[in-house]
Chains A and B, each alone.
Chain A
Amino acid sequence: MTTHEALQEVETLQFSARLNLASNLRLFYLAASRETAVGVLAASLQHDPDEMRSVLLTRILDLSRVTVDPRYRHPSDAALAVYLWLLGQFSPLGVVAAEVIAQTPQCWWASRVAAPILEQAPTTNQASGEIADTVLAAVQNSNTASFEIVDAVGQGAPDAASLEQPGESSESLALAGLVRARSKVTRLTVLPMAA
C-alpha cells in the first residue's frame, strides 16, 4: 500500500466504521494501530517526516473545511482523529492541527484526540521556524486554501497592525510574518474560513 492509498483508505466509510466500534479513546487508538493504512502512514512519517507532516496537515486543513450537515457527526471525524494522532507525535505541529480541529464542528473522536494535545501545548519558546514553514507549505498545498490565522504568539510574530495593511490579504501577510519570525514563533492558530 502506498502512502497515497493509505490516505485514501483512512478516509473511507469502512475505515470509519471499524474505528467507530471503539467505546473509548484507548480502544480507538488500539483499533487505529491495527489498521494497515495507519501503519503505512506511521512508517512514512519516520522515513520522510517533513514531507509527511506537511501532507497530514494539508489533509487536516482540507477535511476540516468540508461543509458539515449540522444533524450529523463530521464525515471525516475518524480520519481527522487519526491524522492528528500521527501528527501529534511531533507536538508543536500537532498543536497547530489540534487548534484547527478544536474549531471544526461536529467532531467526536478528533476533538478527543485534540484535547490532551492542547492541554499540554507549549507556552514557552519550544517551537521553531519549522512550524511556520510546514504550515505555510500545508496551506499552500491545500485544495481549498483560504485560512484565517487568528493567533500567532511569539516574538516577531505578525501583530494586528501588520494584518490590517491594505492591498494584501491578512492570510498572506500573516504567513509572511511567520516565515520572517522563524524560530521565534511559539504558537499559532490557523482556522479554516467559512466556505
Chain B
Amino acid sequence: MALIIGRGGENDPLALKLETLQRNWIENEVTPERSPDEMRAAIALAMAGRPNVVLRSASSRYDCMGLPFASRRTSIAIDQWDLIRVDDRYRQIQEGEALAGDVVIYRRDGFVNHVGVVNDRHFGDNGLPIITVLSQWGYDGEYWHPVDQVPDLYGNAVEYWTDRKPHP
C-alpha cells in the first residue's frame, strides 16, 4: 500500500527539511504541479469578476503557508501556523500597523483557512488603511490582491502578525 505514515514528517520523501527557529519540524510536502490545462482553468476562475487581482506565478508546488514560511518551495499544512507563530515569535498587530512582509490571517468559523503576506499598505482619503496582499490561492497560483478580495471559502482577514524586531 502506498499510504505514507507520518505524512509531511521527517521520513516523508516528499518533505523538505524545514524547522522553526526553535528547531521544531514543520510538516510539509512538495505538491505535484498541475497540468497547464488545469492551471489555465484555475486562473480563469480566480480572476473572473476580480479586476484588481493580478497573477504573480502559476505554480502548484506550494500552498498559502509555503509562500511565507518556506519561500515557495513546499506546502505546509495550515494547522502548522500555531507552531510557527509561537516558535518564530510572531506578535499580533493592528491592521493600521501592518507593513510589507507582515502576515495576514483569514478565518472562517473560527478556523484559520488562509494566510497571505502584506505587499503594500497606504492610507486612503478616509484615513483607513488600504492593504494589498500576496497569497497563493489553494494550490493553483499566487496572486496580488486587495486584502478583502479572496475566494469566500477563506473567510475574512481578521488578524495581522509580524516577526519584525523594533528599532533598537
Q: How far is the CA of A17 from the CA of B45 in the complex (A)?
A: 7
Q: Which residues of A contact B35 (CB under 8 A)?
A: 69, 72-73, 75
- What 1/0 mask marks residues of chain B from 1 to 17 whose CB sits below 8 Å from any chain A CB? 11100010000000000
Confirm or deny: B128 has a beta carbon within 8 angstroms of a beta carbon on chain A: no
Confirm or deny: B64 has a beta carbon within 8 angstroms of a beta carbon on chain A: yes
Given A17-B140, A20-B138, are A72 and B33 also a contact pair (CB < 8 Å)? yes
Q: Which residues of B contact A30 (CB under 8 A)?
A: 153
Confirm or deny: A106 has a beta carbon within 8 angstroms of a beta carbon on chain B: yes
- What 1/0 mask marks residues of chain B from 142 to 155 whose CB sits below 8 Å from any chain A CB? 00000000010110
Q: Which residues of B contact A157 (CB under 8 A)?
A: none
Nearest CB on A from B84, distance (A): 15
Q: How far is the CA of A126 from the CA of B111 in the complex (A)?
A: 36
Q: How far is the CA of A20 from the CA of B32 in the complex (A)?
A: 13
Q: B151, A21: Cβ atoms under 8 Å? A: yes
Q: B151, A106: Cβ atoms under 8 Å? A: no
Q: How far is the CA of A135 from the CA of B36 in the complex (A)?
A: 34
Q: How large is the interface on B (under 10, 10 to 19, 20 to 34, 35 or more residues)?
A: 20 to 34
Q: How far is the CA of A108 from the CA of B138 in the complex (A)?
A: 12
- What 1/0 mask marks residues of chain B from 88 to 122 whose CB sits below 8 Å from any chain A CB? 00000000000000000000000101100000000
Confirm or deny: B53 has a beta carbon within 8 angstroms of a beta carbon on chain A: no
Among B3, B32, B33, contact of A118 (Cβ-Cβ < 8 Å): B3
Q: B1, A102: Cβ atoms under 8 Å? A: yes
Given A13-B37, A30-B153, A108-B31, are A20 and B42 also a contact pair (CB < 8 Å)? yes
Contacts A18-B45, A23-B65, A115-B3 supplied; 14 other A-B pairs, CB < 8 Å = A13-B41, A14-B41, A20-B38, A20-B140, A21-B151, A22-B138, A22-B153, A23-B63, A24-B77, A27-B153, A27-B154, A31-B153, A75-B38, A99-B1
In order of increasing CB-CB distance, the 3 nearest A-B pairs are A13-B41, A73-B32, A17-B42
Query: Which residues of B approach A to under 8 Å, CB–CB?
Result: 1-3, 7, 31-35, 37-38, 40-42, 44-46, 60, 63-65, 77-79, 111, 113-114, 137-140, 151, 153-154
Q: List 12 A-B contacts (CB under 8 A).
A: A13-B37, A13-B41, A17-B140, A20-B34, A20-B138, A21-B137, A21-B138, A27-B113, A27-B154, A72-B35, A74-B32, A118-B3
Query: Which residues of A approach B to under 8 Å, CB–CB?
Result: 13-14, 16-18, 20-24, 26-27, 30-31, 69, 71-75, 99, 102-103, 106, 108, 111, 114-115, 118, 189
